[in-house]
Structure 1
């Protein structure tokens, strides 16, 4: 059974894009274009391409040709810029193709970059770092804010949601308490009083309904639409599990971008504070393909208190005590040669104590 991956999934309908990435709707509109008339964009959402995967695509195109056209847009100088299909473009260059199938669309800079982001997020096997950075860029475009503003915004939305949930629980608790008190009251028999009570209840229900329908945060609505459209994860999961990833040291992030290290291993190795030690450890972990448990064990060993002068002194005392205890119980006292060695060591120890 073929495993479903992001690359096999079409774009979700909630993400508005002027391009069918499956190629089904645009197959008839494709046309051939000289490869030397096509250029790559100055800003590219994806910075790392797996050499092995690119090699496989190059071989596939060599045998079968380019089955899905590239999406390009007109730019200055009579050239056309790649919007979607950079890997196919690179593979075509490797095969020294003269022409490639393309679909041309008139797109401004914002629409082109947004479309390239979505194409990468949904159709390419991005590593966690690129995926996280891509989602932040997409949110930046949708919200009209800088990328740096997005993480604090998501944390603020999380805080607001927690406060709203807490407030809602308090209101429910008060309503239940009020209901219990009402059950204990005597039934009012006077019709006029009944009428007043009825009117008051209606008024309260209307007020409660108005209070319950709190205005929806427009930023939250956009954020939810983006994540619903991508279908990769919830925005809360992204904020909790992906944003901390970008706080890792740059050498660790580079390894993640290259796909040579899993995220769980990266987080463990990032605990090593010294750069030179961390880089050396990272290289060994990748070269030897250490498991997560091996990495944690080796890091724990590196954290042993050998380098601390105070603990080092205590360690010597413990070793001396253990050695003398073993000596008392040992049979070496009956061996003349070993007993002479002990006498020499004892004389050296006595000399050391006299110096003090």
Structure 2
């Protein structure tokens, strides 16, 4: 079975949407560029300057081959739903008109279509892909984006509990060995889960397979990931959600496509911001491999721990010694008191020399 990639997926995808994204009901038409505006909320925030430059040059030579998808908005304008890169490249080329397909879409439908269009692009960076999937789940589930990560964790917990309570082996759909990640688990819809488990959003009207209620949230989540064809929802929860906990400077590098995720996780271990930023810049500029990054981080940790191991932090040692000295009974011993007097005299001599 051929491995499914973003490039092999049509824009329509398998996600149910309230509009047709392939067969256009209206023929493309030309529209003045100054009548088109960008949406206030755009799923994609970063555009690779080099890729945009190449697209601009291509449009300069061949024109816009695929029309922009737009929708009517207030003021007689039309808002870009899909095709922002083409729109920007057209501006760079100072085109007067561009080909468009006009659709009547409300805010929710337009945003969902823009999300899907972006998620199925080959060059979307992992941060924006993760954020886009969370936004799509938010719309499909009718919950805030902030509620989605804990919801996925709860679904994972319920699935593990159900698996532990059953002696049956959890069935899974057939996947290519290069498709599945170690944590990818796909549950067949006919699998029975223990009905005593807490099911999020469960009520008496839920659909059932046999006598077992089906979690409506889980069903929606599985449909979204099946439609996108990028990964399973368990893989997303295990491997992608932690990405958003990385420091902002690391996330920026990921958004710009200058750093791979595995390298980002390694560099994020450096706690101090200034050291991390400096290390990050060097790693990108010199194109260090993951093994080089790990080695250099280990060396930094070893160097940082050396002063403490060898007790060379003199100020801390002096403070600790004087604290102990005040509480010590050494002052009642005449011999030791004389030694202290000599040491004090030496210290006074040192400070006088300065």
**Runs of 5+ consecutive residues of structure 1 not aligned to the other structure:** none
Which stretch shows the higher mean deviation, 286-295 or 301-310?
Answer: 301-310
The aligned counterpart of 1:22 is 22
Which stretch shows the higher mean deviation, 14-23 or 251-260?
Answer: 14-23
- Kindly name which structure, 1 or 2, has the bigger radius of gyration based on alpha carbons: 1
Note closer, same or farther for the CA distance 1:53–1:342 as it changes in structure 2 (3 Å cut). farther
Q: Specify the SS of the correspondent of 2:195.
A: helix
Find the aligned partners of 2:345 and 2:213 in 1 and give their Cα distance.
86
Q: What's the CA shift string for 1:243-300, capped at 9, x where partnerless?
A: 0000000000000000000000000000000000000000010011000011000000
Find the aligned partners of 1:59 and 1:276 in 2 and give their Cα distance.
39
1:1-356 matches, within 5 Å, as 6-11=6-11, 13-17=13-17, 31-169=29-167, 213-304=211-302, 306-307=304-305, 309-313=307-311
Deviation at 1:7, TM superposition (A): 3.8
TM-score, with length taken from structure 1: 0.73
Find the aligned partners of 2:186 and 2:25 in 1 and give their Cα distance.
71
Q: What's the CA shift string for 1:158-216, capped at 9, x where partnerless?
A: 00000111111289999999999999999999999999999999999999999973201
Deviation at 1:6, TM superposition (A): 1.9
Note closer, same or farther for the CA distance 1:345–1:109 as it changes in structure 2 (3 Å cut). same
Note closer, same or farther for the CA distance 1:350–1:312 as it changes in structure 2 (3 Å cut). farther
Find the aligned partners of 1:128 and 1:182 in 2 and give their Cα distance.
18
Which stretch shows the higher mean deviation, 222-231 or 310-319?
Answer: 310-319
Q: Specify the SS of the correspondent of 2:79.
A: strand
Find the aligned partners of 1:176 and 1:107 in 2 and give their Cα distance.
37
Deviation at 1:2, TM superposition (A): 14
Checking the alignment, whether the CA contact within 8 Å between 1:21 and 1:119 is kept in structure 2 is no
Checking the alignment, whether the CA contact within 8 Å between 1:39 and 1:82 is kept in structure 2 is yes
Note closer, same or farther for the CA distance 1:236–1:173 as it changes in structure 2 (3 Å cut). closer
Note closer, same or farther for the CA distance 1:195–1:19 as it changes in structure 2 (3 Å cut). closer
Q: What's the CA shift string for 1:77-121, capped at 9, x where partnerless?
A: 000000000000001001110000000000000000000000000
Checking the alignment, whether the CA contact within 8 Å between 1:71 and 1:85 is kept in structure 2 is yes
Aligned length: 353
Checking the alignment, whether the CA contact within 8 Å between 1:264 and 1:292 is kept in structure 2 is yes
Note closer, same or farther for the CA distance 1:22–1:186 as it changes in structure 2 (3 Å cut). closer
Which stretch shows the higher mean deviation, 167-176 or 316-325?
Answer: 316-325
Q: What's the CA shift string for 1:330-352, capped at 9, x where partnerless?
A: 99999999999999999999999
TM-score, with length taken from structure 2: 0.74
Checking the alignment, whether the CA contact within 8 Å between 2:7 and 2:120 is kept in structure 1 is yes
